[in-house]
Each structure stands twice: as structure tokens, then as C-alpha cells.
Amino acid sequence: MALKFWSKLESASDITSPQIGTAGVLQGTPPYNPCKFNNGMEANNGVEGFLLPVAGNAITVDKGTVEFWFKPFFLPTDAGYHDIIYGFGVRRIRIYFSNVSNNFNVDIGAGPSLIITSITWSINDLIHFGITWDKDGNDIGGGKTVAIYIDNVLEDSSIVTWTSGALPANLQIGWRDASYYAEGIIDNLKFHEECKTDFSDKEDEDAGAPSAVKTLVQAALISAVPLIILPTLHEILKFTRG
């Protein structure tokens, strides 16, 4: 499962220098507060988040997967739109909560607009979302073109197909406009090249990362631990003999 873009979203540097992919462009000064894995990016104040380059990260409506953790600051009964990912061009990717109670919406390509009405949550819950798509319905299974997984449970899908088309230059992560924004914290954002249908690795922050990246992370962790210098046998004997 090849990652096109991966940002832990723990700080601004994770956006301007992501773990994998082309850097995003910060919009406003979003804070970074506790979420699933350490901190995530809080999008709770109008135009605040970042622009994710589409071409630089090879994101298309033909095929792919996006997954992330989300901590909402609103209840299912609260009115208003809460856009997490927004991009409208000839084709679109829009992932959001609508102003209808309990509704979680996904718009992909030029085809299906899926609405899940059964999801419920409490403020500050930690929810994992995985959305996968294939315009021709070949790689998800059962002829599906879009499938929505919430906490690794398939909640909805479609078999409506569409044709290729351009997305806008950037996806807006965290908001649509000054009135429609996530109102929550987004954590560990990943875009995959392939269609992913098993999110059982959602508890692993580094899942899907190339082994070389994992090795670098492990090396960084080890280097951060102070070294304990043990005395040699000669030094021990010298000390005991006075």
C-alpha cells in the first residue's frame, strides 16, 4: 500500500515538511492539540488549516484512499456544515458533516454523493475515517466505486461510476470557507495510491510507511535517549582494589 502523502499533523513542520509527499501551505495559524497520536491540527476558526497540492502528491479521482482521525467539537444535533477536506474543480473530493443531524457526507469524482445517517458521536470522541474510491469499480470489490469505513466498519458504498477529470490545484484541509470549517482536530492524515479496505492498522500511527521511513523514526527515537556509559571490567577492578 503506497503512501502518496502522510502528515502526522502534530505541528506546523509536519505540514511544511510532511512525513511523505509534497509540502502543504499553511492557512492561518492553526493550533495543535491532543488527538489520537500526540497532537493533531485543530481547525476551529474559519479559514484555518492548509492547502494540499494535488499534482505534487499525485492525488486523483480515478483511484485512491484517504484516512485520518478526527476529534469533533460539535454534537450530531448541532446545525452547520463541518468541512474536513474540500476540493471542487471539474471533479471533486469533499468530506464533511452536513447541517442535517447525524449526517456524514462524502462526494467523490462526478458520481456518488454518499450520506451516512446512522453515525453518532459525542464531543471529543476519537473517530477513524477511511474513504476509498475507484471510478471504474474494479479494485474495491463487488463493483464498488466508493466505500466509507468508520472505525474499520464499512458503513456505506456506491457502484455509481464516473470519468476522469481534474481536481482543483489544492485540496483544502480543515475548512471550505469562513463559515464551513471542521470544528475539530484532524490527526494522522494519509492519502494512499491504492484502494484500501482494511483499516485494522488504524491504531498504528506509522502503518503503511516504507520500512526506510520507519527505520529513520526508530533511529531518531534511539538518538533521543541519553546513552548510559558502563564502566569497563578494568575500571571496576581498579575501583575495588582502591
Residue 219 lies in a domain: no
Residue 145 lies in a domain: yes
Give the model confidence (pLDDT) of 176-213 as tens digits: 999 999 999 999 999 999 999 999 999 999 988 886 45
pLDDT at 45: 87
Among the listed residues 51, 45, 48, the one whose alpha carbon sits nearest the alpha carbon of residue 16: 51
In the predicted model, what is the mean pLDDT of the chain? 87
Give the model confidence (pLDDT) of 46-91 as tens digits: 889 999 999 999 999 999 999 999 999 998 888 789 999 999 988 9
Amino acid in position 74 = F
Domain that holds residue 168: 3-208
Residue 235 lies in a domain: no
Which residues are bridge partners to 113 per DSSP? Answer: 107
Residue 140 lies in a domain: yes
Residue 230 lies in a domain: no
Q: Give yes or no for a contact between 191 and 59, defined as CB atoms under 8 angstroms apart.
A: yes
Place of cell 473517530: 127
Residue 160 lies in a domain: yes
pLDDT at 240: 42
All three cell numbers of 226: 541519553
Q: Which residues contact 151 (CB under 8 A, 6 or more apart)?
A: 127, 128, 199, 202
Residue 242 lies in a domain: no
Q: pTM for the full model? A: 0.86
Cα 13–chain centre separation:
16
The separation between the first and the last C-alpha atoms of the chain, rounded to the nearest angstrom, is 62
Using 50, 70 and 90 to split pLDDT, how confident is the model at 101?
A: low
In angstroms and rounded to an integer, the radius of gyration of the C-alpha atoms of the chain is: 21
pLDDT at 213: 53
Query: Of the ranges 108-112, 120-124, 202-206, which one carries the lowest mean pLDDT score?
Result: 108-112
The more confidently predicted of residues 131 and 232 is 131
Q: Parallel, antiparallel, or unpaired: how do β-strands 184-192 and 39-43 relate?
A: antiparallel
Q: 3-class DSSP state for residue 28?
A: coil
Residue 237 lies in a domain: no
Q: What's the total number of domains in the chain?
A: 1
Q: Which residues contact 82 (CB under 8 A, 6 or more apart)?
A: 72, 74, 96, 97, 180, 181, 182, 183, 184
What is the domain-level CATH number for residue 175? 2.60.120.200
Among the listed residues 120, 76, 119, the one whose alpha carbon sits nearest the alpha carbon of residue 99: 76
Q: What's the average model confidence in pLDDT over 231-235? A: 47
